[in-house]
Chains A and B, each alone.
Chain A
Amino acid sequence: MTALLSLRGVETRIGRYHILHGVEFDVAEGGLTMLLGRNGAGKTTTLRTIMGLWRAAAGEIRFDGRDITKMETPDIARLGIAYVPESMAIFADLTVQENLVLAARAGPPDPKRLEWIFGRFEALKRFWTLPAGFLSGGQKQMLAVARAIVEPRRLLLIDEPTKGLAPAIIANMIDAFRELKDGESTLLVVEQNFAFARQLGDAVAVMDDGKVAHQGGMAAFAADSALQQHLLGMGMGEHQ
Chain B
Amino acid sequence: MELTGAEILVQCLKEEGVEYLFGYPGGAVLHIYDALYKQDDVKHILVRHEQAATHAADGYARSTGKPGAVLVTSGPGATNAVTGIATAYMDSIPMVVITGQVPTSLIGNDAFQECDSVGITRPIVKHNFLVKDIKDLAETMKKAFYVATSGRPGPVVVDVPKDVTGQSAEYSYPKEISMRSYNPVSKGHVGQIKKAVELILSAKKPMIYSGGGVILGEGCQQLRDFTQKLGYPITNTLMGLGAYSATDKQFIGMLGMHGTYEANMSMHHCDVLIAIGARFDDRVTGNLEKFCPDAKILHVDVDPASISKTVKVDVPIVGEVVEVLEALIAGIDTSESKVDTPALEKWWQQIDVWRAQDCLKFDTESDKIKPQAAIQKVYELTNGEAYVTSDVGQHQMWAAQYYKFDEPRRWINSGGLGTMGFGLPAAMGVQLAHQDKTVVCITGECSIQMCIQELATCLQYGLPIKILNLNNGFMGMVRQWQEFFYDKRYSESVMSVAPNFVALAEAYGHVGIRVEDPKDLDAALDEAFNKHKDRLVFIDVITDPDENVYPMVPAGAGLNEMVLV
The answer on A and B forming one complex is no
